[in-house]
Structure 1
Amino acid sequence: MSSKNSRIRVALLAAVVAVTGLATAGPALAATPAVAAAVTVTASQAQEPAIPTDFVDLPTSPLRADAPQEFTVTYRNNTPTPTTVAPQLLVTSPDAGPYLAPSDVKVERRTGHDCWMAVQPGSQTGTLFTDLVGAQRTLGAGEQLKERYRVTVVNPEARGTVLPRVALYG
């Protein structure tokens, strides 16, 4: 087999591993902390997305239909070394249902230009969640993460709880 064919096969395998890992692990990781099975990755394969090792839960609030709610996700790196973190907003359904759908709420994130940008939440078993992969950043020693979100109820029948949190890596 030529080296060109070998490289194409390795690239295709890496793409399949990356897509499969994101599709299957992303929602599950967002909904609850989980321990993932170890995967051996050789130098010629793409690396798996980082998996959070812990979450810092911030105070919860009931989902209100009467007005948009703003949430600030903050975390300070009090360690002497850089730490990778990701802010996340969960909107959980009542235990007895009905389960929330992404169309029940509008989630927005405040940008560095002081504008609100729509965030498409993922969904798993009635829990809506913002993406962890795109939100990852590294905080230096003493640096602080501060991310603002706004949740607006679109379906007045929607009920649930908003849980802001920070995913910690490594």
Structure 2
Amino acid sequence: MSSSTSRPRIALLAVAVATAGLALAGPAAAAAPRAASTVATSPQASAIPVGFADLATVPLTADGRSHEVTLAYRNDSGAARTVAPQLLLESPDSGPFLDPADVEVEHRTAGGCWETVALGSQTGTLFTDLSAARRTLRAGATLAELYRVTVTDPAAVGTVHPRIALY
């Protein structure tokens, strides 16, 4: 069979299979019990940020020393707002890509101690977790978070991009 006649047949077969699947799934889906829906009576912060306040970027310095990065944000709105500080450690577009083992990130706690922050990784960018950093900032209040970044791989190249997630 030539490829010019087999392609339409394959496409027709795919449509027939999909249609049969929908026809069989329709009654089963209609008979399935549905979960009860609830309506929230109080406003809740979205699980997904509605925006970001980007702060000044700095080069990732691979000299083996710790470098402090301060994330500061003032809630100028008239209401409390949920925010989350985040550090992005961005690799150069052309690589080499950063690995979590290349960098150590620490966060200064309210008690003045440094605690190690786990890093996620996606498409050459390392990042701190937003869900663990979420907090409510009163109207007119200022958030000031201090991080310490130490590059453990002398060949690592990148940019430190601090930002505040806004909910």
TM-score by length of 2: 0.73
Which of 31, 46, 53 is equivalent to 1:56? Answer: 53
Which residue of the partner structure matches residue 149 of structure 1?
A: 147
Q: Does 1:43 align with 2:38?
A: yes
Shift of 1:134: 1.0
Tell me how far apart the structure 2 counterparts of residues 162 and 144 of structure 1 sit (CA, whole Å).
Answer: 22
Tell me how far apart the structure 1 counterparts of residues 67 and 114 of structure 2 sit (CA, whole Å).
Answer: 13
Tell me how far apart the structure 1 counterparts of residues 58 and 68 of structure 2 sit (CA, whole Å).
Answer: 10
- Give the secondary-structure state (helix, strand or coil) at the position aligned to 1:74: strand
- Give the secondary-structure state (helix, strand or coil) at the position aligned to 2:52: strand
Which residue of the partner structure matches residue 84 of structure 1?
A: 82
Which residue of the partner structure matches residue 138 of structure 2?
A: 140
Tell me how far apart the structure 2 counterparts of residues 168 and 42 of structure 1 sit (CA, whole Å).
Answer: 27
Q: Does 1:112 align with 2:107?
A: no
- Larger CA deviation: 48-57 vs 94-103: 48-57
Which residue of the partner structure matches residue 32 of structure 2?
A: none
Q: Could you tell me which amino acid in structure 1 is paired with residue 119 of structure 2?
A: P
- Give the secondary-structure state (helix, strand or coil) at the position aligned to 1:59: coil
Percent identity, please: 58
- For the 8 Å contact 2:52–2:165, the answer to whether it is kept is yes
Tell me how far apart the structure 2 counterparts of residues 123 and 48 of structure 1 sit (CA, whole Å).
Answer: 25
Structure 1 residue runs without a partner (length 5+): 1-40
Structure 2 residue runs without a partner (length 5+): 1-35
Shift of 1:68: 1.4
TM-score by length of 1: 0.71
Tell me how far apart the structure 2 counterparts of residues 42 and 104 of structure 1 sit (CA, whole Å).
Answer: 46
Q: Could you tell me which amino acid in structure 1 is paired with residue 53 of structure 2?
A: V
- Correspondence list, 1:6-85, <5 A: 42-43=37-38, 50-66=47-63, 67-85=65-83
CA offsets per residue over residues 63-96 of structure 1, 9 Å max, x none?
A: 0011211101010111111111000000000111
Q: Which has the larger radius of gyration?
A: 2
Q: Does 1:96 align with 2:94?
A: yes
